[in-house]
Amino acid sequence: MSIRATAPVFRATCARRVAQPLQPLRNPALRRRFATGAGPEVPPPSPPRKSNSPYALVAVGAAALGAAYLFFGTSGSAKDTAKELGSAARGAAASVEGKVGLRRGKDEYQKVYDRIADSLEVEGYDDGSLAPVLIRLAWHASGTYDKNDKTGGSNYATMRFKPEAEHGANNGLNVARDHMEKIKKEFPWISYGDLWTLGGVAAVQESGGPTIPWRPGRIDGFEHNVTPDGRLPDASKAEDHLRFIFNRMGWVEIRLPAFNDQEIVALSGAHAMGRCHPDRSGFEGPWTFSPVTFSNEYFNLLINEPWVWRKWKGPAQYEDKKTRSLMMLPTDMALVKDKSFRKYAEKYAKSEDEFFKDFSAAFSKLLELGVPESQWAGEPWAMGSQ
Ligand code: HEM
């Protein structure tokens, strides 16, 4: 049954967003929002530094990469060592590339952004947009970061490889990866990590969300860089688990703190978008009545509507008492049950501006987890609709 068909009674009692029909993406109003620079202030990119022999420096990195393969054998630990060196060489080449100004400019990445934005609407798929599943891909590609051993994160795009692609938490993300593969064919020069994270940025912005500061610099890793299963949150758990998972992220090297309570709540607000699929996570249904619109509606509903356990054969989840057509995960409900989390959920329910500001900062930070500082060429950009 469609959401719109089940919603009318509930919609009348809910805040403005709920009453809206599913909104088309890239509509003029949203485009204007970006064109006028609404959203957080984003500093302009730093000009790339010049060097007399940039190509020679990149050649050094590339040569190291080749040498790593040629020098070491093709089996056992020698192969692993070669791959380690390969990753290091790619990282070194990326650092050099960024530092000497060889990286493509913002205009080139903007073309990729536009292509992604134009591809979001897909009639017949879920609620008509790939934006939610692209946001989930960007988050799952980044949220594996472990500050303790500095593995995981968006740098190597390791979800391309079988073990990680098949982790239970990533069920269904093949839809997003396959879609991005088509874009990659048109722009083969972009790394997967940059492509997937830019996809998340475009998906949020084109759905009416805030501007997300973003910059390129991620490199493609190897299969041996895949992360162990269990780094992403388990939706059946509660507040302690959420803190454990999100505190494991964070970045000691550049003094980014692990995600705090406020950031955990802000990030969870992405559940305004999309839905749960029984064949992916086992859970079922959307969180809001406008699952292709990025808004603070998730918090409005979480705070203001009564939620009860759903009686069904699937995993334990909540449903809204009035229409029984919306859902909340146990981890979503932890945001209202835990006192510290609740403070922020209430704040975001009251003010969409506050939510957008905090989501933008936290999501931008999430997307950079695992990328060594040396690989960035400058400050993040504000990509936008053309
Ligand atoms: C706080 C811990 C979180 C848990 C336990 C969690 C869990 C889940 C689950 C179980 C699904 C349903 C997957 C499916 O069946 O298709 C889902 C979907 C989704 N999640 Fe989360 N999530 C969390 C945090 C986040 C964060 C931080 C973001 C982004 C910033 C996010 C964005 C999304 C989106 C957009 C969807 C919808 C995907 C679609 O419609 O295909 N989630 N999440």
Q: What is the pLDDT of residues 105-131, one digit of tens each?
A: 999 999 999 999 999 999 999 999 999
Reply yes or no on whether the pLDDT at 1 is more than 60: no
- CA 271 to ligand 1 center in whole angstroms: 6
pLDDT, tens digit, for every residue of 82-105? 777 777 888 888 877 776 667 899
318: tokens are: 């909540």
With contact defined as beta carbons under 8 Å apart, do 381 and 215 qualify? Answer: yes
- CA 322 to ligand 1 center in whole angstroms: 23
Nearest CA residue ID for atom 24, ligand 1: 268
pLDDT bucket at 372, cuts 50 / 70 / 90: very high
Query: In the prediction, which pLDDT does 386 show?
Result: 56
User: pTM here?
Assistant: 0.84
Tell me which residues have their CB closer than 6 angstroms to ligand 1: 132-133, 135-136, 139, 172, 233, 235, 242, 267-268, 270-271, 273-277, 280-281, 283, 329, 331, 363
Q: Is 271 a residue of the active site?
A: no
Name 380's Cβ contacts closer than 8 Å, sequence gap at least 6. 42, 43, 45, 213, 214, 215, 364
With contact defined as beta carbons under 8 Å apart, do 130 and 188 qualify? Answer: no
Q: Is 140 a residue of the active site?
A: yes
With contact defined as beta carbons under 8 Å apart, do 17 and 297 qualify? Answer: yes
| Average model confidence (pLDDT) across the chain | 83
Catalytic residue chosen out of the listed positions 139, 196, 214, 287:
287
